Amino acid sequence: MTAALLTLADSRLPAGGHTHSGGVEQAIAAGVVHDPATLTAFLRRRLHTAGAVAAGLAAAATALSSSGRHRGQVPFPVALSPASCSSGESPAPASSELVAALLSLDAEADARTPSPALRAASRQQGRGLVRVGRRAWPSPVWDALPERPHSPLALGVAAAVAGLTPRDAAAAAAYLSVSGPATAAQRLLAMDPLAVAALTARLAPEIDEVATADGVPAAADPLLDLLAEVHAARKDRFFAS
């Protein structure tokens, strides 16, 4: 663990995450979230679905972009993505191979994110992360990403170029999947910051569990898809997603 990981998971990192509520704004509007108990339930379902997928994708992106240093640490499911991982033993993919591998991983992210609103939110945050990441950790590896990558891919590349491991990237992705919505709920419901900090802290064991799972899961929550699409159609929203 290094300070680079703390930097990546810091809500002060100007990657644009603060403009997204991770579905919590619409969950509040729908009456699904209204107090600390219902917020905890919402954060847990988000952690185990969108958070788990983001963690897996981020770890895979880090493994791909780390010139083989961490290959094998996260067994990327070869069967899922023949184009990207048929050469799992290749130590340092050439740049064009990395471009293809990240593009293929981006397609896997799309397949796991059928909601257009959630895709847009992810790509918007991915672009924000690339912008700040390029300045913070300059590297040619950034050029291998698609123009508006899914957020976990940008996070994975940031972790790689910052010298972090796939597990670190997964930890940051899993943590961010709850910290952002928790802060948004605190603001929208004017909740006690101590209560929100405490319930987020109590999720730490589950966040760790999600961050250390193998592979790239496809866990979906149709409720989050519905909330995201209803939210995107609203004119009076406070958050972008």
Q: Which residues bind other proteins (CB under 8 A)?
A: 32, 38, 41, 44-46, 48-49, 80-83, 107-108, 110-112, 114-117, 206, 217-223, 225-226, 229-230, 233
Token pair for 90: 């290749």
**Between residues 45 and 71, which has the closer beta carbon with respect to other proteins?**
45
Strand ranges (E), 35-82: none
Give the integer Cα–Cα distance in Å for 75 and 59. 10
Q: How far is the CB of 111 from other proteins (least distance, A)?
A: 4
Dihedrals phi, psi of 77, to nearest 5 degrees:
-65, 105
Residue 155: exposure state from Cβ atoms within 10 A (0-12, 13-18, ≥19): buried
Q: How far is the CB of 174 from other proteins (least distance, A)?
A: 13
Q: How far is the CB of 31 from other proteins (least distance, A)?
A: 8
Q: Supply the DSSP symbol for 53.
A: H
Dihedrals phi, psi of 156, to nearest 5 degrees:
-65, -40
**Between residues 1 and 234, which has the closer beta carbon with respect to other proteins?**
234
**Between residues 5 and 101, which has the closer beta carbon with respect to other proteins?**
101
| Type of residue numbered 220 | A
Q: Supply the DSSP symbol for 190.
A: T
Q: How far is the CB of 101 from other proteins (least distance, A)?
A: 14
Give the integer Cα–Cα distance in Å for 178 and 224. 13
Q: How far is the CB of 122 from other proteins (least distance, A)?
A: 14
Give SS3 for 101.
helix
**Between residues 159 and 171, which has the closer beta carbon with respect to other proteins?**
171
| Type of residue numbered 224 | L
Q: How far is the CB of 106 from other proteins (least distance, A)?
A: 11
Give the integer Cα–Cα distance in Å for 207 and 204. 5
**Between residues 14 and 116, which has the closer beta carbon with respect to other proteins?**
116
Q: Which residues of 44-82 are buried (b: 16+ CB within 10 A; e: fewer)?
A: bbbbbbbbbbbbbbbbbbbbbbbeeebbeebebeeebbe
**Between residues 65 and 84, which has the closer beta carbon with respect to other proteins?**
84
